[in-house]
Amino acid sequence: MTTENHLRHVQSLPVFPSGAGNIPRLNAVILGEALASEENDFVFPSPEFSRNAHVSSPSEYSDMYKRSVEDPSGFWGDIASEFYWKQKWGKEVCSENLDVTKGTVNIEWFKGGITNICYNCLDRNVENGNGDKIALYWEGNDLGFDDSLTYSQLLEKLANYLKDVGVKKGDAVIIYLPMLMELPIAMLACARIGAIHSVVFAGFSSESLAQRIVDCKPKVVLTCNAVKRGAKVIGLKDIVDAALAESTKNGVSVDVCLTYENKLAVSRENTKWTEGRDIWWQDVVPKYPSTCDVEWVDAEDPLFLLYTSGSTGKPKGVVHTTGGYMVYTATTFKYTFDYKPSDVYWCTADCGWITGHSYVTYGPLLNGASCIVFEGAPTYPDAGRCWDIVDKYKVSIFYTAPTLVRSLMREGTEHVTRYSRKSLRVLGSVGEPINPSAWRWFFNVVGDSRCPISDTWWQTETGGFMITPLPGAWAQKPGSASYPFFGVQPVIVDEKGKELEGECSGYLCIKHSWPSAFRTLYGDHERYETTYFKPFPGYYFTGDGCSRDKDGYYWLTGRVDDVINVSGHRIGTAEVESALVSHPQCAEAAVVGVEHEVKGQGIYAFVTLVEGVPYSEELRKSLVMAVRSQIGAFAAPDKIHWAPGLPKTRSGKIMRRILRKIASRQLDELGDTSTLAEPVVVEQLIALADK
């Protein structure tokens, strides 16, 4: 869709319900009233919310968006000037080539600008008088254990220790830590001295950790001895020991393993130790000065390396640089959540994923926000834990994954409604498309029908939000990511790469770069080009399918490789899952494709029922009928597989690779299941395969 057509759609939208009668066949719903049943209802922010929002109307968004795509240098240059730069960038704000047919793919923003993201997160806030403001509230796994750090206190001593053991600008540091405050502290310490941090989610196996150590060859590994996750103790140091032994066999040795003693999980006396390599964090770090000189870096110097694991092959090391990432994450956080200095913000993601980088650590701290860092499980000791935390800290912005929303839906509303939640102002969704029924429950039950939902679409590779509602401007549609963020130019193309106009479905691509775009894959620029830029030359290919409706709203349909081709019909797994979850007795569903001798591919659905609902043949037929009636007979699942639970990582991501193997009965090819929150789920699914 051209910029002109996109803006025409935006400008045609009414701001408040007084104009809603101009929209044919759509009911308008004001935030504060119950949602109607139609999936295409517009949901408007209240006039009061919009009046106080950073972007208060479609027309205001339209003006800003138009400038951002017609004059990106001016638009982003003005925003970047609000940050601290030791030296301003050169003549060009941006230079790019996304077309593989015209040479090497290359993206640069603010090249020549000298800055430091840690300085902008911490020192700048202290200098602006916010040194005593709480930067991080830490909530432990067990009730009653908590802590906090101000912006002044976050200027921690770890950076000096890292320098003292030989970590220099450009060196890699692996961070394998749970959600203790030491995790964001470690990220900021690396950024302060120009080291490249690579956070590995503390749920990955020793084999996965070893792969990453071998690839980036870190000077230091940072970890802790153990962590409690719910009632379970996980020995992280044992995993690190095994990984370091494996990496040494592969020619990469690490001389320093700095280990934080997490006394709430395991004492140091019960921790295995390698003298000379292993160092207790508490024994050395407190001895260093609390002030550390800043290593000033170029905007295009690497900030961090984050590995994304494919179902096969070597993990991809996504490289994000400093300047553009800093400007974009800060800006997206401010506008997408309508952030105000009085807000208390909680993102439930782990810093082992991109969401924890951009929207637990950097985006919020660049805005001077007070953030929650939560160590535990959202359903421990019971399903009301999230709302207990919301009330305890007066959380006003709550950002989580649809998977968590659906799992809490399954537990029932009483776990939500026994808490006040009056502090909530904005809700957010991340990680996958949120189906309309989950959106409504999140909106009606959690947000009391008054909190807009920022349903964000973005990726590890994009660094920040790409398509998302702006809560004060948008007439929202449940389940739609709405419109692009400033500077982002999405296009939907067909299989030949032709841009499609108006209402359509196809492959989602982005034309032109944005400040936080990833610059390469670590040590493999050829794979970077082949995976993301060769499929459709001139565009960044997201790998996602997407539909655009007649009002210009974008609907993500899932990964293109999660499209099932049934008798020539291309069906997004997300569509079938959404239809299944709309059934009142279905709590969650995950759909995969399996080989079918007649149709080419068949639809295989794993279904988790609402608590207390028994399996029955009648219910199985009812679920199939729900899909037939919502999508069509061609989309009816060939198999409903009862699932007491789904295999998920501890961040809530469903491991579809495992589901495909179970569906295809390739049980000897399940691979590594150690990253699952509940590995026993796999055995349960196998046992129920023919029920």
- For the stretch 257-275, pLDDT in tens is 999 999 999 999 999 999 9
Rounded to whole angstroms, the Cα distance separating 191 from 140 reads 26
Q: Give pLDDT, residue 678.
A: 82
**Can you tell me the mean pLDDT for 302-312?**
77
Q: Give pLDDT, residue 26.
A: 30
**Can you tell me the mean pLDDT for 46-73?**
96
Q: Name the band, by pLDDT with cuts 50, 70 and 90, for residue 570.
A: low
Q: Give pLDDT, residue 18.
A: 34
**φ, ψ at 109 (rounded to 5°):** -130, 135
Q: Name the band, by pLDDT with cuts 50, 70 and 90, for residue 12.
A: low
Residue 203: DSSP 8-state: T
Share of the chain above pLDDT 70, in %: 92
Question: Does position 244 have pLDDT exceeding 90, yes or no?
Answer: yes
**Can you tell me the mean pLDDT for 473-496?**
94
Question: Does position 19 have pLDDT exceeding 50, yes or no?
Answer: no
Rounded to whole angstroms, the Cα distance separating 32 from 132 reads 36
Q: Give pLDDT, residue 29.
A: 42
Instruction: Give Rg (Cα) of the chain.
Output: 24
Give the range among 70-74, 384-388, 451-455, 567-571 with minimum mean pLDDT. Answer: 567-571
Q: Name the band, by pLDDT with cuts 50, 70 and 90, for residue 30.
A: very low
Residue 186: DSSP 8-state: H
Tokens of 230: 């719910």
Q: Give pLDDT, residue 37.
A: 37
Q: Name the band, by pLDDT with cuts 50, 70 and 90, for residue 654.
A: confident
Provide the sign of the torsion angle of the four alpha carbons 334, 336, 340, 344, taken in this order.
Answer: negative
Kindly list the structural domains of the chain, giving each domain's residue range(s) and its CATH number in brackets, ordered by start: 567-688 (3.30.300.30)
**φ, ψ at 247 (rounded to 5°):** -65, -35
Tokens 């017609």, residue? 70
The CB-based long-range contact list for 487-492 (8 Å cut-off, 24+ gap) reads 487/68, 487/69, 487/72, 487/75, 487/76, 487/514, 487/515, 488/514, 489/3, 489/69, 490/1, 490/466, 490/546, 490/554, 491/1, 491/539, 492/1, 492/546, 492/547, 492/548
Q: Give pLDDT, residue 5.
A: 64
Question: Does position 441 have pLDDT exceeding 50, yes or no?
Answer: yes
Our CA angle for 457, 462, 463, nearest 5°, is 100
Q: Give pLDDT, residue 339.
A: 98
Q: Provide the phi-psi class of 372: left if phi over 0, else alpha when psi is between -120 and 50, else beta.
A: beta
Tokens of 524: 């493999």
Q: Give pLDDT, residue 3.
A: 62
Our CA angle for 618, 620, 621, nearest 5°, is 65
Question: Does position 36 have pLDDT exceeding 60, yes or no?
Answer: no
Q: Give pLDDT, residue 402.
A: 87
**φ, ψ at 372 (rounded to 5°):** -95, 135
Q: Give pLDDT, residue 591.
A: 94
Rounded to whole angstroms, the Cα distance separating 571 from 580 reads 14
Question: Does position 1 have pLDDT exceeding 70, yes or no?
Answer: no
Rounded to whole angstroms, the Cα distance separating 69 from 664 reads 46
Tokens of 119: 């300085």
pLDDT tens digits along 113-172:
999 999 999 999 999 999 999 999 999 999 999 999 999 999 878 999 999 999 999 999
Q: Give pLDDT, residue 207.
A: 82
Question: Does position 9 have pLDDT exceeding 70, yes or no?
Answer: no
Tokens of 686: 């196998």
**Can you tell me the mean pLDDT for 3-15?**
58
Question: Does position 417 have pLDDT exceeding 90, yes or no?
Answer: yes
* Helix, strand, coil percent content, the chain, rounded in steps of 5: 35, 25, 40
Question: Does position 22 have pLDDT exceeding 70, yes or no?
Answer: no
651 vs 597, more confident? 597
Q: Name the band, by pLDDT with cuts 50, 70 and 90, for residue 24.
A: very low
Contact 655, 681 (CB under 8 A): no
40 vs 320, more confident? 320
Q: Name the band, by pLDDT with cuts 50, 70 and 90, for residue 51.
A: very high
Question: Does position 506 have pLDDT exceeding 50, yes or no?
Answer: yes
**Can you tell me the mean pLDDT for 232-247?**
95
Question: Does position 6 have pLDDT exceeding 70, yes or no?
Answer: no
Q: Give pLDDT, residue 290.
A: 87
**Can you tell me the mean pLDDT for 322-346?**
98
**Can you tell me the mean pLDDT for 25-42?**
43
Question: Does position 454 have pLDDT exceeding 80, yes or no?
Answer: yes
Contact 333, 362 (CB under 8 A): no
Average pLDDT, the chain: 90
**Can you tell me the mean pLDDT for 553-570?**
78
Active site residues: 561
**φ, ψ at 610 (rounded to 5°):** -60, 145
Q: Is 178 helix (H, G, I), strand (E, B) or coil?
A: coil
Provide the whole-model pTM.
0.85
* DSSP labels, 537-604: TTSEEEEEEEEE-TTS-EEEEEEGGGEEEETTEEEEHHHHHHHHHTSTTEEEEEEEEEEETTTEEEEE
**Can you tell me the mean pLDDT for 666-691?**
82
